[in-house]
């Protein structure tokens, strides 16, 4: 009987066990040189698995000396190219080919290997891998009841984040500077424990970075050249909550149970977003809903009735396709960050799945604005109808999101009616924001007085009025908005009669188009508070805000460079006056097509040498 084992059963010591049990007694055990090479490489990296496998080879040699088996090393040592492609199955393929050539029983503890070998027609014996009870990790000694994360790095004393949710402090927890040998020992223990314990798994294993989930701990291990030095960051949840612990609990529960919802859970890092999402997931599962999660890495602390999924073949889109076959009632998506994430979230929501997405945002409205430009505007309320903002572990704000066909707040004429996304305070029912298309721009208008002065309808109205008057005036135009339906326009002496028109006909046409009463005066009549270098500031906006940029005008586009805003939603302003909101491309630029209304406004501002600035929306 010829027996050819792969690396997995040699590491586990299962071949010598089978000889001792009598099953392989008298067999010829064929050890591939590829297995020896793998074990040697692992031992050289200081991995216990390599040393365990070499110990098994020595036991087999002793059994051969005793006449219990015949031992033979076969095949060639893999070349560097084959060794580098080990993760892609090259070494496994070499071992299977040897088993076929020698007509040997192929022995493995790798379930994938066993299935491939059977498909190739080999005689296969699959031996389930060993698992063992793993005690506490040595890095757990750095944690106490108030510790959320521990940070270990070569050349630095141990650090930790400790305190209550939302009030964490990053502080030293030891005086001795850590060395590389200590970090490597911790790393080896963590990785081997995750491999050998049913309570752990390796989420990511790339050159320079390994991410491990072990019990409640998510542990990231980085090493050069990816990082400048060895570093281990271990994070764990310090609070587990249920829905009853939060404000608006009864109302939110009724809302979630009524029918599948689209929910964004937003807040700053460390605010308690994922903790709230976990509570929502377990509440839904307890009330008869099929709940799944989509996470990378999988670190939500949920019960066994909730299946946790990660990326399938490196793509959340494929995970979503699989989940649509499973048909969950609700899916918790932790975290929704990139455009691809928002598209996956939207696709699943539009397919009828209830979605709870975790989003980083410093204001509740910012979470909703992350969808603008990524999905069609009119679809947003179908995708997200509830926004929950978490601050310091508490529900700070809840928004209800809906669509109404109406005249936007602050505009007048019936022909200005359009679909408007209305964001209402969940507790009071009072509208706080409106989102709609205005002059081919998507605008978010705050409705409370404190924010309206800075960025509300007055800016948009002023912008439109200036555009209309400038189309008929030859000189400079200044505009002062005096409420929701009145404005004063200041033009040169030569332009005033032309702007008003014969019998006031021209200005009346403009008033009808804009739905606002306009008083036309000369520049000599304007008060000091009105800007004399273009449109009036936003009620005293006080000049440019954000980073000043220099747009480049090409034959087809106006290209606005940004720095550090790739993928973000930003505001573009001229002398501190709002122009438009845009999402920065991956290359760090905003491209505005020439000929559009936005481009015309932007070119006019550039021609007037107004300061063009970009700031976070």
CATH number of the domain enclosing 593: 2.60.40
Residue 418 lies in a domain: no
Q: Is residue 121 part of a domain?
A: yes
Is residue 536 predicted with pLDDT exceeding 50? no
> Do residue 89 and residue 177 come from a single domain?
no
Residue 446 lies in a domain: no
Q: Which of 126, 148, 174 is the last residue of a domain?
A: 126
- Distances from the Cα of 137 to the Cαs of 35, 237, 351, 581, in angstroms? 30, 17, 43, 49
| Residue 429 lies inside a defined structural domain of this protein | no
The verdict on 566 and 590 lying in the same domain is yes
Instruction: Please give the residue that has the higher pLDDT: either 594 or 435.
Output: 435
Residue 598 lies in a domain: yes
Shared-domain flag, residues 38 and 162: no
Question: What is the domain extent for residue 284?
Answer: 243-406
Cα separation, 107 vs 168, whole angstroms: 52
Picking from 105, 126, 147, the residue at the C-terminal end of a domain is 126
538 found inside a domain:
no
- pLDDT band, very low/low/confident/very high, at 604 (cuts 50, 70, 90): confident
Structure tokens at 9: 């059963």
Query: pLDDT by residue (tens digit) across 174-212?
Result: 999 999 999 998 998 898 888 778 788 888 888 899 999
Domain boundary among 235, 254, 285: 235
SS3 letters across 225-263: CCCCCCEEEEECCCCCCCHHHCCCHHHHHHHHHHCCCEE
> Taking residues 492-496, what's their average pLDDT?
87
The arithmetic mean of pLDDT across residues 39-53, rounded, is 82
Confidence band (pLDDT; 50, 70, 90) for 64?
very high
Asked if 223 and 256 sit in the same domain, the reply is no
CB 108 within 8 A of CB 96: no
Averaged pLDDT, 240-254: 87
Same domain, 122 and 183: no
Question: Are residues 210 and 280 part of one domain?
Answer: no
Evaluate whether 487 touches 481 at the Cβ level (below 8 Å). Answer: yes
Residue 546 has pLDDT above 80, yes or no: no
Question: Is 371 found in the same domain as 257?
Answer: yes
Flag whether 444 is in a domain.
no
Residue 443 covered by a domain: no
**DSSP H or E stretch at residue 80:** helix 80-84
On whether both 253 and 401 belong to a single domain, the answer is yes
Dist CA 516 CA 537 (whole Å): 19
Model confidence at 447, pLDDT cuts 50, 70, 90, reads confident
Tell me the C-alpha to C-alpha distance, in Å, between residue 123 and each of 1, 25, 99, 544, 562. Answer: 12, 18, 9, 75, 62
Same domain, 264 and 370: yes
Q: Are residues 282 and 393 in the same domain?
A: yes
Q: How many CB atoms lie within 10 A of CB 372?
A: 19
**Number of domains making up the chain:** 5
Q: pTM to 2 decimals?
A: 0.57
Question: Is 82 in the same domain as 161?
Answer: no
pLDDT of 161 over the 50 cut: yes
Question: Do 97 and 55 belong to one domain?
Answer: yes
């Amino acid at each position: 009987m010829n027996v050819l084992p792969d690396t997995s059963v040699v590491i586990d010591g299962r071949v010598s066990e089978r000889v001792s049990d009598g099953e392989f007694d008298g067999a010829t055990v064929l050890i591939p040189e590829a297995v020896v090479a793998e074990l040697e490489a692992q031992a050289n990296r200081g991995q216990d698995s390599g040393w365990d496998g070499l110990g098994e080879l020595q036991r087999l040699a002793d059994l051969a000396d005793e006449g219990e088996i015949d031992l033979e090393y076969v095949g060639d040592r893999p070349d560097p190219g084959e060794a580098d492609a080990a993760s892609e199955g090259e070494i496994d393929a070499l071992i299977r080919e040897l088993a076929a050539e020698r007509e040997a029983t192929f022995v493995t503890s790798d379930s994938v290997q066993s299935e491939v070998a059977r498909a190739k027609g080999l005689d296969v014996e699959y031996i389930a891998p060993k698992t063992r009870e793993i005690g506490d990790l040595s890095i757990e000694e750095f944690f106490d009841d108030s510790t959320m994360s521990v940070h270990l790095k070569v050349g630095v004393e141990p650090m930790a984040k400790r305190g209550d949710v939302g009030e964490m402090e990053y502080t030293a927890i030891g005086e001795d500077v850590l060395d590389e040998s200590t970090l490597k020992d911790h790393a080896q223990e963590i990785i081997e424990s995750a491999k050998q314990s049913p309570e752990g798994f390796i989420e990511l294993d790339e050159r320079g970075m390994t991410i491990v989930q072990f019990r409640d701990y998510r542990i990231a291990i980085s090493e050069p050249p990816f990082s400048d030095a060895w570093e281990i960051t271990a994070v764990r949840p310090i609070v587990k909550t249920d829905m009853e612990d939060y404000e608006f609990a009864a109302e939110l529960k009724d809302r979630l149970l009524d029918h599948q919802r689209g929910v964004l859970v937003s807040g700053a890092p460390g605010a308690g977003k994922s903790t709230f999402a976990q509570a929502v997931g377990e509440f839904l599962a307890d009330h008869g809903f099929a709940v799944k999660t989509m996470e990378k890495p999988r670190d939500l602390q949920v019960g066994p009735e909730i299946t946790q999924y990660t990326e399938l073949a490196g793509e959340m889109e494929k995970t979503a396709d699989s989940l649509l076959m499973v048909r969950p009632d609700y899916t918790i998506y932790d975290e929704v960050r990139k455009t691809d994430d928002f598209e996956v979230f939207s696709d699943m929501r539009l397919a009828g799945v209830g979605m709870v997405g975790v989003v980083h945002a410093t204001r509740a409205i910012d979470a909703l604005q992350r969808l603008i430009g990524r999905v069609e505007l009119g679809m947003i309320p179908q995708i997200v109808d509830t926004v929950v903002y978490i601050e310091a572990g508490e529900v700070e704000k809840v928004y209800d999101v809906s669509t109404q066909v109406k005249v936007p707040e602050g505009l007048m004429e019936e022909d200005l009616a359009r679909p408007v996304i209305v964001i209402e305070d969940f507790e009071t029912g009072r509208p706080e924001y409106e989102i709609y298309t205005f002059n081919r721009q998507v605008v978010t208008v705050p409705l409370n007085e404190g924010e309206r002065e800075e960025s509300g309808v007055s800016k948009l109205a002023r912008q439109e009025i200036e555009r209309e008057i400038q189309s008929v005036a030859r000189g400079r135009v200044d505009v002062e908005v005096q409420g929701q339906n009145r404005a004063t326009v200041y033009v040169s002496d030569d332009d005033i009669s032309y702007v008003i028109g014969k019998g006031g006909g021209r200005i009346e046409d403009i008033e009808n188009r804009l739905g606002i009463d306009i008083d036309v005066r000369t520049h000599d009549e304007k008060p000091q508070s009105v800007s004399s270098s273009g449109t009036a500031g936003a009620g005293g906006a006080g000049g440019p805000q954000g980073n000043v940029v220099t747009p480049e005008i090409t034959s087809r586009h106006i290209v606005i460079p940004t720095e550090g805003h790739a993928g973000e939603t930003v505001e573009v302003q001229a002398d501190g006056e709002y122009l438009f909101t845009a999402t920065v491309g991956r290359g760090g630029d905003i491209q505005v097509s020439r000929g559009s209304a936005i481009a015309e406004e932007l070119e006019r501002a550039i021609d007037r040498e107004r300061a063009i600035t970009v700031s976070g929306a």
